[in-house]
Amino acid sequence: MSVYSEKVMDHFRNPRNVGEIENPDGVGKVGNPVCGDIMELYIKVKDEKIVDAKFKTFGCGAAIATSSMLTEMVKGKTIEEALKITNKAVAEALDGLPPIKMHCSVLAEEALKSAIKDYYKKKEKVK
């Protein structure tokens, strides 16, 4: 099917970092009200740096590919750098998405923001 770029199909076929992280430092769970798709993102943080990221997604090809790409992009980034990742950046890294599927990448951005929020919340508690 040619609606998706080769890169999207690659990440869809072989999604990177599928699964959960035990005792994660942050978890983001978001859903898209339009299509009903759901994404869960887990991050492990060391010294303000994301050292591991994993995801679980109920969604279309684009949702799975953006989840996969996102986990690749955030790994090794500091929290501050990660916060700057937009859905557009994820889509671009995948060589683009069909317009009707751009919203799927929003899911990835939101999952990341929510995971980082969770991380901050957890850190507060530890303090």
Partner 1 sequence: MKYIYMDHAATTPTDQDVLKAMLPFFSEKYGNPSSLYSIGQESRTAIEEARGKVAKFIGAKHDEIVFTSGGTESNNFALMGVAWANQKKGDHIITSSIEHHAIINPCKFLEKRGFKVTYLPVDKYGIIDPDDVKKAVTDKTILISIMHANNEIGTIEPIAEIGKIAKEKEIIFHTDAVQTVGHIPVNVDKLNVDLLSLSAHKFYGPKGVGALYIRKGTKIVPYLYGGDQEKRRRASTENVPGIVGLKRAIELAEQNMEEESKRLTNLRNKLIEKVLTGIDETILNGHPTQRLPNNTNFSFKYIEGESLILSLDMEGIACSTGSACTSSMLEPSHVLLAIGLPHEIAHGSLRFTLGRSNNEEQIDYVVEKLKKVVNKFRSMSPLYKKK
Question: Is residue 26 a contact point for ligand FES (CB under 6 A)?
Answer: no
The site partner of 107 among partner 1, ligand FES, none (C-beta below 5 to 8 Å per kind) is ligand FES
Residue burial 72-82, b: 16+ Cβ < 10 Å; e: rest = ebbbebebeeb
DSSP structural state of residue 42: E
* Given the residues 104, 106, 108, 115, the one annotated as active site: 104
Indicate the pairing of strand 38-46 with strand 26-31: antiparallel
Q: What's the longest Cα–Cα distance across the chain? A: 51
Among 35, 83, 93, 102, binds ligand FES (CB under 6 A): 35
Q: Is 62 in the site for ligand FES (CB under 6 A)?
A: yes
CB 85 within 8 A of CB 115: no
60 given a catalytic annotation: no
The residues, ordered by sequence, that sit 6+ positions from 24 with a Cβ below 8 Å of its Cβ are 42, 43, 44
User: From the candidates 9, 21, 35, 60, which is the catalytic residue?
Assistant: 35
Residues that bind partner 1 (CB under 8 A): 1, 4, 9, 12-13, 15, 18, 20, 29, 34-40, 56-61, 63-64, 100, 103
Residues noted as catalytic: 35, 104
Residues that bind ligand FES (CB under 6 A): 32, 35, 37, 59-60, 62-63, 101, 104, 107
